[in-house]
């Protein structure tokens, strides 16, 4: 049985999101069995989603999901109908220019897409860092990316990789 897990980090362009994506990848790579791939939506095929054990989506907060990512997500309805992503792990991260600009709303929009595909959501458990930075719905950055934001992003990547691997060892999903 192949124990390597493919973690696809799919993120739309945005300065803060780019930095968070790198930190999420660092966290996922903490598990040597993880094959971590970072891609933009335009580079990503439905086959890439199907081959992944876990999907982590990142988007700048533009009062919700950035339009280009949302448009791409809307082209994947056949995966939903066929149940291709059912049981896979999903997580999200986002950034915004300021507090109270809908960061958690954006994360919930991404998580809604995962739920619609029958995926298992992974968030972040509460920590003292989260009290100052972020959301348990996913990793975040507001205005700038702080060391604590990077720490949260790494924790999210590590947590997703760990859970995806446990699922794969335990007989998979689907």
Q: In whole angstroms, what is the distance from residue 2 CA to residue 89 CA?
A: 17
CATH code for 5-169? 3.40.50.360
Tens-digit pLDDT string for the chain (174 aa): 457 899 999 999 888 999 999 999 999 999 888 999 999 999 999 999 999 999 999 999 987 888 889 999 998 888 888 999 999 999 999 999 877 678 889 999 999 999 999 999 999 988 888 777 778 899 999 999 999 999 999 999 999 999 999 998 886 554
**Which residues lie closer than 8 Å to 124 by C-beta, 6 or more apart?**
130, 134, 135, 136, 137, 138, 139, 152, 155, 156, 159
pLDDT of residue 174: 47
pLDDT of residue 171: 64
Residue 58 is encoded by which pair of tokens? 């990142």
pLDDT of residue 43: 93
Q: In whole angstroms, what is the distance from residue 13 CA to residue 40 CA?
A: 8
Q: In whole angstroms, what is the distance from residue 142 CA to residue 22 CA?
A: 16
User: Quick check: pTM over 0.85?
Assistant: yes
DSSP-based three-state secondary structure for 167 = helix
pLDDT of residue 1: 46
HSE-CB of 10 using CA atoms within 13 angstroms? 24
Residue 35 is encoded by which pair of tokens? 């094959």
pLDDT of residue 129: 80
In 3D, which of 89, 103, 72, 107 has the Cα closest to residue 160?
89
| Ramachandran angles phi, psi of 52, nearest 5° | -80, 145
Residue 4 is encoded by which pair of tokens? 């390597």
pLDDT of residue 128: 85
């Amino acid at each position: 049985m192949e124990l390597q897990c493919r973690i696809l980090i799919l993120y739309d362009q945005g300065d803060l999101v780019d930095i968070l994506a790198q930190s999420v990848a660092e966290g996922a790579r903490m598990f040597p069995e993880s094959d971590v791939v970072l891609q933009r939506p335009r580079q990503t095929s439905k086959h890439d989603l199907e081959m992944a054990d876990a999907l982590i989506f990142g988007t700048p907060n533009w009062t919700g999901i950035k339009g280009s990512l949302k448009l791409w997500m809307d082209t994947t309805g056949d995966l939903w109908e066929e149940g291709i992503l059912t049981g896979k792990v999903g997580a999200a991260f986002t950034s915004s220019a300021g507090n109270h600009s809908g960061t958690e709303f954006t994360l919930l929009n991404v998580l809604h897409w995962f739920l619609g595909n029958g995926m298992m959501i992974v968030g972040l458990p509460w920590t003292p860092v989260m009290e100052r930075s972020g959301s348990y719905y996913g990793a975040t950055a507001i205005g700038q990316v702080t060391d604590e934001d990077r720490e949260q992003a790494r924790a999210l990547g590590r947590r997703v990789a760990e859970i995806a691997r446990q699922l794969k060892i335990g007989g998979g999903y689907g």
